[in-house]
């Protein structure tokens, strides 16, 4: 696990470099998508720090938040209406927070809207993670049976490694999103090269 976590942090450092890329001028969509990408990467890194500290129950819960932030980042760039984008970017205060919050789409709504605009292989990656991990992660977040059992008897090492690798896969999808929103066209193919360099800590290493 120590080697996997070390490689995971190296991967996240590579992804973090992409936040220095310029954005298209005046694009609320690109700005909001970049912020959500930053949130997703923060959740990924924080979860692995918690695993290092032995706080696995809290760590696993953050992987669900990473997935949600990634989905919202993709949704706001590709599928959200102009009204919803504006609501996401408007500065909040006590009076407008309920209105702005109510205008945001649920996870199911975002995924449904993304199926209409994303390439099939990208959508399949997101749906595979949702189908394999969503219910267990929800159990961890809400103090369900999985949270109780794994906290009492420890998390199965193989399952923990698999979840960390899936998190790294989401970080690569975050890297892809950051290259898409950037105004720098020289980054084409970066995500492919990143995935090849870190095959040992990604789900694809097990599928090869």
pLDDT interval class at 205 (50, 70, 90): very low
Domain-by-domain residue ranges, the chain? 2-202
Please say whether the beta carbons of 83 and 127 come within 8 A: no
- Using alpha carbons only, how large is the chain's radius of gyration in Å? 17
> What percent of the chain lies above the pLDDT cut of 90?
49
CA dihedral 184, 31, 112, 203 (to 10 degrees): 60
User: pLDDT value at position 132?
Assistant: 66
Please say whether the beta carbons of 87 and 103 come within 8 A: yes
pLDDT over 60 (residue 38):
yes
Q: Over the stretch 137-159, which tens digit does the pLDDT of each residue have?
A: 777 777 778 778 888 888 888 88
Beta carbons within 10 angstroms of residue 85's beta carbon: 20
Across 16-20, 74-78, 81-85, 117-121, least confident range: 117-121
User: pLDDT value at position 134?
Assistant: 66
**Residue 172 CB contacts under 8 Å (≥ 6 apart), including other chains:** 11, 15, 191, 194, 195, 198, 202
Task: Give the pTM.
Answer: 0.88
User: Which comes out higher in pLDDT, residue 146 or 207?
Assistant: 146
Mean confidence (pLDDT) of the chain: 87
Across 59-73, 136-150, 187-201, least confident range: 136-150
User: Which comes out higher in pLDDT, residue 155 or 16?
Assistant: 16
């Amino acid at each position: 696990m120590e080697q996997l976590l070390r490689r995971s942090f190296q991967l996240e450092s590579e992804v973090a470099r992409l936040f220095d890329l310029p954005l298209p001028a005046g694009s609320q969509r690109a700005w909001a998508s970049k912020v959500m990408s930053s949130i997703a990467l923060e959740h990924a890194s924080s979860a692995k720090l918690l695993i290092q500290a032995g706080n696995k129950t809290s760590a696993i819960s953050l992987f669900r938040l990473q997935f949600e932030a990634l989905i919202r980042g993709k949704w706001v760039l590709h599928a959200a209406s102009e009204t919803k984008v504006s609501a996401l970017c408007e500065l909040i205060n006590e009076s407008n927070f309920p209105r702005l919050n109510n205008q945001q789409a649920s996870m199911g709504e975002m995924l449904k809207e993304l199926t209409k605009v994303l390439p099939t292989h990208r959508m399949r990656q997101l749906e595979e993670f949702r189908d394999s991990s969503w219910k267990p992660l929800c159990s961890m977040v809400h103090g369900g049976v999985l949270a109780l059992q794994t906290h009492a008897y420890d998390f199965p090492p193989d399952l923990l490694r698999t979840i960390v690798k899936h998190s790294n896969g989401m970080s690569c999808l975050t890297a892809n999103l950051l290259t898409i929103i950037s105004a720098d066209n020289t980054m084409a193919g970066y995500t492919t090269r990143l995935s090849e360099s870190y095959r040992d800590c990604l789900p694809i290493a097990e599928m090869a």
